[in-house]
Amino acid sequence: MAFEFTDSNFEETALAPNTTAVVDFWAEWCGPCRIVGPVIEELSKEYDGTVKIGKLDVDSHPNVTMKYGVRSIPTIIFLKDGEVVYKHVGTATKVALDKLIKEHLN
């Protein structure tokens, strides 16, 4: 299961030094988010131990959502060593996200 980012654990998990993270900003009521969700789950298993891949519910965790200026969902933010290296808004295929992870985080 993909990691669950929250307002309280975000800094220590996604922004830690020597950490790469992919954060899917989503909501239960969002149709396109339900399309991306299974892709995030698969990638989290494939990159387990190398890249922290997970989801952040925008309705439950508004502080991180506002900090990163997320206005549309799904939004997927790629972080390396605490810095945003790429931001994708909208749905994406597994192939496209896998390519972006390899391009921007490894």
Whether residue 38 lies in the annotated active site:
no
φ/ψ of residue 18, rounded to 5: 60, 30
Query: Catalytic one among 27, 30, 35, 100?
Result: 30
Contacts 24+ apart (CB under 8 A), 33-36: 33/73, 33/74, 35/91, 36/74, 36/76, 36/91, 36/92
Whether residue 82 lies in the annotated active site:
no
Tell me the one-letter amino acid at 102.
K
Query: Catalytic one among 2, 23, 33, 39?
Result: 33
Residues in the chain: 106
Residues with catalytic function:
30, 33
